[in-house]
Amino acid sequence: MKPIKEKLSAFLRKPTLAGFAFFSLLCAALPALSATGERALRHFLQNLHSLQADFLQISLSADGGRMIESRGTLYLKRPGRFRWEYHEPHAQLIIADGERVWLQDPELDQIAHQDQKTALQGTPAQLLISNAPLERLFRILPWDAGDQRDWVELQPRQEGQIRRIRVGFLRGQLDTLLMEDHFGQLSRFSFQHLRRNPPLSEDLFQMELPLGGDFLEF
């Protein structure tokens, strides 16, 4: 069986002509000469306690031949908790409760879970919910896609499945996140209806364990 970290990475790679445009954007990007994106990221994370946003995810397979588009809602509460809820095209749920990451697939009637530190190492989720200094988790590099966003590139310091993360800010707000794994698969996340520091119930970050079904621990 695949470890939950690999399953988590697979979920976050889930997406059309839209895909070709996404791939072209990644390939045509040029390195930036300023640290505007880094400043935007640090400012965004400063005093961030909770977050809610809708997202559109478009993922491209390594050979460029398969696109998947997904929509859902993200909730996070720092430090250490998030809820990544897919609504379309299939309902799926990922929850980090501070100790473990839970991954529920209703179609398979299956819930898998793993130690959170292991599962989230080097991922965008770790970036958003950790209070650790950025430099401890990622190498920080300037980057620019040639658009109106302020971009920064992050490369995980510890070897894992994620090769790089690129984060784009528009007028100081988190707008776009690009992720590339070591298999060459690319994912683009676009965020809308972002709410900063909303009150969020602790119940959002607890996985309800139904009777029956498969429970897999890694």
Residue 18, pLDDT above cutoff 80:
no
In this prediction, residues 72-76 reach a mean pLDDT of 97
pLDDT tens-place string over residues 90-111: 899 999 999 999 999 888 888 9
- Can you give the pTM of this predicted structure? 0.79
Report the alpha-carbon distance of residue 155 to residue 164 in Å, rounded: 5
Q: Kindly list the domain boundaries of the chain, sorted by start residue.
A: 4-199
What are the Cα distances from residue 40, in Å, to 10, 20, 175? 28, 28, 11
User: What confidence score (pLDDT) does residue 185 get?
Assistant: 87
Average pLDDT over residues 172-193: 93
What is the rounded distance in angstroms from the CA atom of residue 94 to the CA atom of residue 71? 14
Please give the angle made by the CA atoms of 78, 81 and 83, to the nearest 5 degrees: 125
Per-residue pLDDT of 135-182, as tens digits, reads: 999 999 988 888 889 999 999 998 888 999 999 999 999 999 999 988
pLDDT digits (tens, 9 = 90+) for 40-67: 999 999 999 999 999 999 988 767 667 8
pLDDT at 215: 54
Nearest to 12, CA basis, from 101, 145, 138: 101
What is the percent of the chain with per-residue pLDDT over 90, rounded to a whole number? 59
Strand partners, 141: 153
Q: Which of 137, 136, 164 is nearest to 152 (CA)?
A: 164
Residue 10 has pLDDT above 80, yes or no: no
Domain 4-199 matching CATH 2.50.20.10: the answer reads yes
**Per-residue pLDDT at 213:** 54
